[in-house]
Amino acid sequence: MKIERLRPEFVDMFPTAPDAGVFYVSIEFGTCMHLCACGCGQEVVTPLSPAQWSITYDGHNISLWPSVGNWTLPCRSHYVLDRGRVHPARQFSPIEIARNRTQDRFALKYDEWTGSDDGPLDIPDASHKPEGKQQHSTRWDRLRRRLWRQE
Ligand SMILES: [Zn+2]
């Protein structure tokens, strides 16, 4: 791992040019972002919810659980953030990755059913009324529009 430590920064919005080595946390949007710890420079977003990630902040450092598996990035890095330290985790086989994704999907579905994930994100934006197909253009799209500074 090129980046061995990630220090937390609590922000309202994610910067357009994030610093490597910073773990950005938006409490308002319940989402975190950092640049991949392998050093490839890709943005890694870890939404906080019971079915996705959770963080622990001890006043100095952040721990993130579960691990970050960047299977969709070319680097396919996999690591654990524990009290600000990045610990490389073992590489998963393609089968394990597929299984992991299936479990993620189930967890997300469960999240939707139980409605345990309806935070401020699901309050409809007055300036943007989703219609028809766009109904499915999901929280994530809305989050992206709202969370990243528009230039
Ligand atoms: Zn990477």
* Alpha-carbon 80 to chain mean position: 13
pLDDT tens for the chain, residues 1 to 151: 799 999 999 999 999 999 999 999 999 999 999 999 999 999 999 999 999 999 999 999 999 999 999 988 999 999 999 999 999 987 777 788 777 777 676 666 655 555 544 444 444 444 444 444 444 456 666 677 777 755 5
Distance from the CA of 42 to the center of ligand 1, in angstroms?
Answer: 6
Dist. CA 21 → ligand 1 center (Å) = 13
Whether the CA torsion 30, 33, 38, 40 is positive or negative: it is positive
Q: End-to-end distance of the chain based on CA atoms, in angstroms?
A: 32
CA of residue 56 to ligand 1 center, whole Å: 23
Name the one residue in this structure whose structure tokens are 């654990």.
80
> How many A from CA of 39 to the centre of ligand 1?
6
For residue 43, CA distances in Å to 7, 37, 127, 148 come to 16, 10, 27, 12
CA distance 128 to 107: 28
Ligand 1 centroid distance, CA of 122 (Å): 31
